[in-house]
Chains A and B, each alone.
Chain A
Amino acid sequence: MTLTAPARTAPPPAPPGRAPGARRAWRKASPYAYIAPFFTLFAAFGLFPLLYTAYVSLYRVELQTPGDMQWRGLGNYTALFGDEFFWISLRNTFTIGVLSTVPQLAMALGLAHLLNHRLRGRTFFRTAMLLPYATSVAAATLVFSQLYGRDFGLVNYVLGLAGIDPVDWQTGTFASQAAVSTIVIWRWTGYNALIYLAGMQSIPHELYEAAEMDGASRWRQFLHVTLPGLRPTIVFTAVVSTIGATQLFGEPLLFEGSLSGGISHQYQTLGLYMYEQGWGFFHLGRAAAVAWVMFLLIVLLVGANALIARRRTRKEAGR
């Protein structure tokens, strides 16, 4: 901030006929007025629930008797950390996060690179990329869970044609996590590709021309021109995807319609675990504690992300 803050200059002369004092006051205050709507809404629907959740997480509260709150201190948190299913869901969140985010961003990058070339029907392809994102999670997940059906699913039918035994996509730990990840990948790849595409188009064309003159192949151009130019965009998508992966909820919930993420919690994510505590077992205090742990986890992950990104930039700068 210190670098970008403008140097203080004398205020421009006030137009004649107006009280200079009032004008100056308005000029100083008006930015706050403009941003007030967002921060008002944020205070009401973001900050207040956040703090209230922290408050609730210190009590024993049941949904059936919400007026009856018993002080529990950090009891909800210790119970949480002593619960095996919490750790399972934390691990699942991580593995599903990696299984969905890494291929998703890699594919988005490749797609964006292809779309960046001149090709016929470019607008059509670009619009088509956004279609999965525009579909509702519920609809997409229901279709996917049919595709992944053990006995009558299309995926197993195709595998059967190749002579592979049917896979129980809902029961196997890796199989179910992979299945849930494909839904996430399907929904978000196009979205990220468009972001990358926008980033690519801001890379000066001369760089490519120069690279071509030097005889660099398309692949080399991608590695040495596109990727470095895209670094801020990639950091942005990585952060957003990390947050999304940590909060993953709709896909695993609807995949089988089970709150526990399958019969042995094999694909229960933190979001689902929270929902199960709150709306399956009606332990609102416990659920609030999970919510706060998730919040802190996201802050931690985003911080780590930013740190890594800054390290990279500093290293680049030092080179």
Chain B
Amino acid sequence: MSHARAAGRTAVRLGAAALAAVLLAACGGAPEGAAGGADGKVTVTVDLFGSFGYEEAGLYAEYEKLHPGVTVKQTDTEDEADYWKSLQTRLAGGGGLADVQAIEVGRIASAVQQQGDRFEDLRAYGAESLRSGFPEAKWAAATGKDGRIVGLGTDVGPEAMCYRTDLLAQAGLPTDREELAQRWSTWEGYLELGRQYQAKAPAKSAWIDSVGSLYSVMIGQQKERYYDASGTLVWETNPALKTAWDTSVSAAQSGLSAKLDQWSPQWNQAFAAGSFATLPCPAWMLGYIKGQAGEAGKGKWDIAKLPGGAGNWGGSYLAVPRAAKHKKEAYELIAWLTAPEQQAKLFRKQGNFPSATGAIAQIADATDPYFSGAPIGRIFGEAAKAAPVQVLGVHDQNIAQQITNALGEVERKGTAPEQAWGNARKGVRNTIG
């Protein structure tokens, strides 16, 4: 038996050696700045989610022309939730990070408060000088208590209401954007129009895509949502949240919704099929609508002012992780991409609404032929100016997901609202855990 034991010890030692090798390989990574290359050529990697549209708007090509020797390489994940998950895993492990990583506004509090030290403090590169070009709210959200700047603001998500003129006409409703804005100046008015629509609507067509989107847009009109200014969780007692919930429940129970799950394949197909007549749309949604509804949808869509006042849904930041290989080049790139000229260009081509104050002025007169020539510069510009400065919290996105799920239960399964609300509470408790 002594042989066996010796062999056993050897096996353990071999195992330990193998393990050590694996761990070493995992921790090592590339030494900082080593990949710059002797020939002065640098590839800056950019990792994004959804549709930032830089590539489509030709901004990378322009940047490469202005900076010979720099190549920009982009990767993109469609769903932000998937993107965030993988970013978290890579931040925790410290490997596989791109030179530029995007952060959604719903996550920026988490990035600043919990992971500030994993990102470069952009003050070191002179970001302080850019502060005056951005609205205070956009800038402050990415600034830590110690003054560190984690990211530069890209777009914001001022909201409006997108609608299908052809479907509204078939149901005998007005199609003029000014008249509609007046008729649905409140959410009650919007639901009332919805009931009229539903009474005479074309077959298999509903007033709104989902009550989840109704909830999201209403909550986007609030200053305080899930946390109060001191950082305490208040969502269970927040009257504004209760109103948004009740209105969404009422829409679900009146059968105004097409019961679709946003970002699902079914939702995508519904754009072309005309399954819903109205869709609350942040500026960045315009590009998405064009992509899903396609050429055939051109001229059928229009945009009016949002019921119940201005709101904001989404918007993003670009950050440079500590583990990035080309930090200086990465900073130069994001400073250029978020500069007013580029933001204005991006809005004209892709619809992402600029956060830089200089750019907002530049695009005031923009219209969009796809949306029946709607004055998008004016509509979204006014919404951006009037939108509240939101209190952001660490778990915003996950809490919103739980509530949207619960609304889905009411909408699609006919669950009693009280029970669904209870499920949302359990879900949130799990989230915060």
Give A contacts to B, CB under 8 Å: 25, 28-29, 32-33, 36, 39-41, 43-44, 48, 62-66, 79, 83-85, 145-146, 149-152, 168, 170-172, 256-257, 259-260, 263-264, 277, 279-283, 286
Contact = CB atoms under 8 A, between A and B. Distances in A.
B405 A264 contact: yes
Contact of A48 (B6, B19, B88, B423): B19
Given A79-B433, A279-B85, A282-B88, A40 B11 contact: yes
B275 A151 contact: yes
B405 A263 contact: yes
Given A263-B408, A263-B409, A64 B92 contact: yes
B114 interface: yes
Nearest to B426: A84
B61 interface: no
Given A151-B275, A264-B423, A40 B18 contact: yes
Contacts of B430: 83, 85, 277, 281
B14 interface: yes
B15 A44 contact: yes
A256 B261 CA distance: 9
Nearest to A281: B431
A25 B92 CA distance: 48
A85 B423 CA distance: 10
Contacts of A281: 398, 430-431, 433
25 contacts: A29-B6, A32-B11, A39-B11, A39-B15, A41-B18, A43-B18, A43-B19, A62-B114, A64-B92, A79-B433, A85-B430, A145-B265, A151-B266, A151-B269, A151-B275, A152-B266, A171-B412, A263-B261, A263-B406, A263-B413, A264-B405, A264-B408, A264-B415, A280-B398, A281-B398
Nearest to B111: A64
Given A48-B19, A151-B269, A151-B273, A43 B11 contact: yes
Nearest to A64: B114
Contacts of B269: 149, 151-152
A29 B3 contact: yes
B374 interface: no
Given A39-B15, A64-B115, A264-B423, 11 more contacts: A33-B7, A44-B22, A62-B114, A63-B92, A64-B91, A64-B110, A83-B426, A263-B408, A264-B409, A264-B415, A280-B85
B14 A286 contact: no
A64 B11 CA distance: 36
B89 interface: yes
Given A151-B266, A263-B405, A279-B85, A40 B3 contact: no
Chain B's interface: helix, strand, loop or mixed, by majority?
A: helix
B4 interface: yes
Contacts of A260: 405, 427
Contact of B89 (A171, A256, A279): A279
Contacts of A28: 3
B57 interface: no
Contacts of A25: 3
B6 to A, nearest CB: 8
B7 A29 contact: yes
Contact of A286 (B110, B115, B265, B433): B433
List the 7 closest A-B pairs by CB distance, nearest first.
A32-B7, A43-B15, A263-B408, A263-B405, A64-B114, A171-B412, A44-B19
B398 A257 contact: no
A270 B167 CA distance: 44
Interface in B369-400: 398
Given A149-B266, A151-B266, A260-B427, A43 B12 contact: yes
Given A149-B266, A151-B275, A281-B431, A63 B88 contact: yes
A242 to B, nearest CB: 28
Interface in B76-134: 79, 81, 85, 88-89, 91-92, 110, 114-115
Given A43-B15, A44-B18, A66-B92, A168 B85 contact: no
Nearest to A263: B408
A29 to B, nearest CB: 5
Contacts of A280: 85, 398, 431
B10 interface: yes
A317 to B, nearest CB: 34
A283 B11 CA distance: 34
B264 interface: yes
Contacts of B11: 32, 36, 39-40, 43
Contact of A151 (B89, B263, B270): B270
Contacts of B14: 36, 40
A40 B15 contact: yes
A146 B3 contact: no
Contact of B10 (A36, A63, A83, A84): A36
A39, A41, A64, most chain B CB atoms within 10 A: A64
A146 B265 CA distance: 8
Nearest to A45: B22
A281 B426 CA distance: 13
A149 B89 CA distance: 32
Contacts of B92: 63-64, 66
Contacts of A29: 3, 6-7
